[in-house]
Structure 1
Amino acid sequence: MDNNKNSDPRFKIAHREALIGVGLAIINFVWWYGFAYGLGDQAPEDYSYIWGLPSWFVYSCIGGFILMTILVTFVVTVWFKEVPFDEEEGGAE
């Protein structure tokens, strides 16, 4: 069974796509943390506001959501591959 994992190209694809997913999660966290604590690390009376919301919130939460939606859509359509889940060599089980 362990030998099958090494020879099955689906495991290599899944590993690569999992690393891409982890990379996207790290980008999301760094973006959120940078804006939330970078712009939000001051007294509330010193905040600048966009649409009635603190700018740190708009950039970190709303902007981060839009950025990640675009990045994930791009990554899934360009870099991810369709792989079959069933066994290629005869019987599953």
Structure 2
Amino acid sequence: MEETDWRFKIAHREAWIGVGLAIFNFIWWFGFAYGLGSRPVEEYSYIFGLPDWFFYSCVVGFVLICVLVIVIVKFFFTEVPFDEEGDV
């Protein structure tokens, strides 16, 4: 029985981290967009001329996800060689 290449284990773990980040991004966006955005328009508060639900869901969410991706890639992802072990 052939043993699984160690690079597939790393790729699998990193793929799950990516899925987790995507789910977190969707929950963040959905929570602020529909949580704060479901109020009547007269009750909206504005930040930099944008409705607060849009500012928190799209602007802050984008910046937060960019920072999280940078931190995750820098500290949790590992560099994996693409060449076969026998090739030099």
Q: Residue in 1 aligned with 2:25?
A: 28
- Structure 1, unmatched stretches of 5+, are none
Partner of residue 67 from structure 2, selected from 67, 70, 84: 70
- Structure 2, unmatched stretches of 5+, are none
Separation in 1, partners of 2:37, 2:25: 17
Q: Find runs of 4+ consecutive structure 1 residues off by over 6 angstroms.
A: none
TM-score by length of 1: 0.89
By how many angstroms is 1:3 displaced?
2.4
User: Which residues in structure 2 correspond to 1:1-93 (within 5 Å)?
Assistant: 3=2, 6=4, 8-90=5-87
Aligned residue-pair number: 88
Separation in 2, partners of 1:3, 1:31: 42
RMSD: 1.5
